[in-house]
Amino acid sequence: MPLILGLETSCDETAAAVVEDGWLVRSNIIASQHALHECYGGVVPEIASRAHLERLSPVVHEAVATTGISLADIDAIAVGNRPGLIGSLLVGVSAAKALAWSLGKPLIGVDHVKAHLYASQLQPADGVAANPKSEIRAPKFPCLGLVVSGGHTSLYAVASSTQMHLLGKTIDDAVGEAYDKAAVILRMGYPGGPKLDRLAQTGDASAHDLPRSLLAKDSLNFSYSGLKTALLYKVRGQPQERGGKTHFQRDASDLTDTQRANLAAAFQAAAIDTLIIKLDRALDAMITAGQPARAVLIGGGVSANSLLRRRAVELAARRSIPLGLPAMAYCLDNAAMIAGLAYQYHTQGRHDDLTLPAIATTSC
């Protein structure tokens, strides 16, 4: 029963976790940097990497100490080495190398995007009694995978936990990025996704008809910039050019609470509708290709979204297909998903050496 220590520092969460056998989460510690970046309305890379440097050591110690084991009991050290902010990734990768070298343990680099798709297989150690045999703990492949985060909106034909083929992706904004920008337009603060989701639940989505960008008839790509601009014009009115400058008629502070909630609900309905329509298209495309999906796996920060979760459950029931949705604790960036996926490489004897690079882009 291998124990893997995972580290995650790709963006603005400093995280460490201990996972047993690739699924049982013994600890999952996350130090969020949201308070540091809030006043800038987004992540400032240099502030993020410095904060990782200060926080990683205590976070690793807490992740190990809360399991009641010592570092010597760990079987391998895993780290998210791609994709992400390069300075932030370097902190985690350097720390993982130092730990692996000093403890004489194998080192395993993990792609953060693949790890998001693995997250639905994780269960907290104290939750096992409540849910001992999740059908999704060992999904049957091939699966259809959807990664929805601040940086990615991508569909994959998933051949195994470590091998996937890109079917389609966003041609402009990622859906999480669109949520964050929509929250700025509605003056809701950072990070906007969870706040907009909460407000949307109190509004009436039918109050506004916002566009669903479906692109070409069979396209599996996404586009979110049109939805964002449509929301901007609903909130601020049509822009007018005067003296070489763009002027808007009003802004979000002129809206009543009900108007803001209705706009949030209409945005959420359009954003999530698009994801569900493309999931349906991709399931059909895999059938046409003679490789029907045997499960749908969803991961990434937006998999925490209340409407996506509800509509994904409906889709899975309608298409009679098992659905892997991460527990809420494993939707947003975390190190348990890194340690979990690393177990698959570990059992195949696929380890990295101390030349493991930090890479800004995903491998899939």
- Residues forming contacts to ligand KG4 in the complex (CB under 6 A) are 11, 149-151, 176-177, 179-180, 191-194, 197, 300-302, 304-305, 332-333
Of residues 64 and 147, the one with the C-beta less far from ligand KG4: 147
Of residues 139 and 301, the one with the C-beta less far from ligand KG4: 301
Q: Which does 14 bind (CB under 5 to 8 A by kind): ligand KG4, Zn ion, none?
A: none
Q: Which does 326 bind (CB under 5 to 8 A by kind): Zn ion, ligand KG4, none?
A: none
Of residues 274 and 305, the one with the C-beta less far from ligand KG4: 305
Q: Percent helix, strand, coil in the chain (nearest 5)?
A: 45, 20, 35
Among 13, 20, 177, 333, binds Zn ion (CB under 5 A): 333
Of residues 76 and 302, the one with the C-beta less far from ligand KG4: 302
Q: Which does 192 bind (CB under 5 to 8 A by kind): Zn ion, ligand KG4, none?
A: ligand KG4
**Closest separation in Å from C-beta 302 to ligand KG4:** 4
**Closest separation in Å from C-beta 54 to ligand KG4:** 20
Beta bridge partners of 124: 25
Compute the distance between CA of residue 70 and CA of residue 308 in angstroms, rounded to an integer: 39
Amino acid letter, 211:
P
Decide: 193 and 180 in contact? Cβ < 8 Å.
yes
Compute the distance between CA of residue 298 and CA of residue 146 in angstroms, rounded to an integer: 5
Decide: 297 and 139 in contact? Cβ < 8 Å.
yes
**Closest separation in Å from C-beta 287 to ligand KG4:** 29
Of residues 20 and 197, the one with the C-beta less far from ligand KG4: 197
User: Tokens 């985690």 correspond to what residue?
Assistant: 92
| Site pattern 136..155 for Zn ion (x: CB under 5 A) | -------------x------
Of residues 67 and 334, the one with the C-beta less far from ligand KG4: 334
CA separation (Å) from 81 to 135, 163, 259, 363?
30, 17, 43, 10
List of long-range contacts for 232-236, beta carbons under 8 Å, 24+ apart: 232/185, 234/208, 234/210, 234/263, 234/266, 235/185, 235/186, 235/263, 236/185
Of residues 111 and 333, the one with the C-beta less far from Zn ion: 333
Q: Which does 118 bind (CB under 5 to 8 A by kind): Zn ion, ligand KG4, none?
A: none
**Closest separation in Å from C-beta 177 to ligand KG4:** 6
**Closest separation in Å from C-beta 73 to Zn ion:** 28
9 near Zn ion, rule: CB under 5 A: no
List of long-range contacts for 305-309, beta carbons under 8 Å, 24+ apart: 305/148, 305/193, 305/197, 305/268, 305/272, 306/197, 306/201, 307/197, 307/200, 307/268, 307/269, 307/272, 308/148, 308/272, 308/275
**Closest separation in Å from C-beta 149 to ligand KG4:** 3
Decide: 59 and 29 in contact? Cβ < 8 Å.
yes
Could you tell me which of 264, 116, 119, 114 has the C-alpha nearest to residue 184? 264
**Closest separation in Å from C-beta 81 to ligand KG4:** 14
Amino acid letter, 216:
A
Q: How many residues bind Zn ion (CB under 5 A)?
A: 2
Q: Which does 180 bind (CB under 5 to 8 A by kind): ligand KG4, Zn ion, none?
A: ligand KG4
Of residues 232 and 264, the one with the C-beta less far from ligand KG4: 264
The residues binding Zn ion (CB under 5 A) are 149, 333
